[in-house]
Amino acid sequence: MPAPRPPAPGSTARPIPADAATAIGDFARYPGCRLLLACSACSWSRTYNPERVLRRLHELRTGGHATRLTDVARRVGWNCPACGRARWRMQFAWPATLTESEARRLAARARN
């Protein structure tokens, strides 16, 4: 029996469907969303602030708004802390703490 592990911080986020064309700059379409980095080999995941990840891409001159999430995930330079593999996928996700009404409020503010 493997030892129980505490849930990863991002594990309760609700993923937003993404496709191969989804780019890091698309976070602006989902006000309040997080960037979810998840291991494809096990269920470990954590979330990031997408604005900060985008700013980092700019700083490193490795990408910008149009950089696809699949390419951002490919740049992750470390292995999964749970299973040791490096099979990452990335998509946006609603944080577990974001309620429906809060999401609507943020979306309304983004439109104005």
Q: Candidates 16-24, 53-61, 70-78, 82-90: pick the segment binding Zn ion (CB under 5 A).
A: 82-90
CB 85 within 8 A of CB 43: no
The yes or no reply on residue 86 touching Zn ion (CB under 5 A) is: no
If we measure between CA atoms, which residue out of 42, 54, 37, 44 comes closest to residue 89? Answer: 37
Among 16, 83, 98, 103, binds Zn ion (CB under 5 A): 83
Of the candidate spans 2-10, 11-19, 31-39, 104-112, the one that interacts with Zn ion by CB under 5 A turns out to be 31-39
Burial class (CB in 10 A: 0-12, 13-18, 19+), 4: exposed
Give least dist CB 68 to Zn ion, A.
22
Residue 82 in the binding site for Zn ion (CB under 5 A):
yes
CB of 17 to Zn ion, least distance (A): 22
What are the backbone dihedrals phi and psi of residue 53, each rounded to the nearest 5 degrees, phi first?
A: -65, -40
Scanning 7-15, 61-69, 75-83, 95-103 for contacts with Zn ion by CB under 5 A, the matching segment is 75-83
DSSP assignments along 58-112, one per residue = HHTTS--TT-BHHHHHHT--S--TTT----EEEEEEE-TT--HHHHHHHHHHHH-
- Residue 41 interacting with Zn ion (CB under 5 A): yes
Contacts with Zn ion, residue ranges (CB under 5 A): 39, 41-42, 44, 80, 82-83
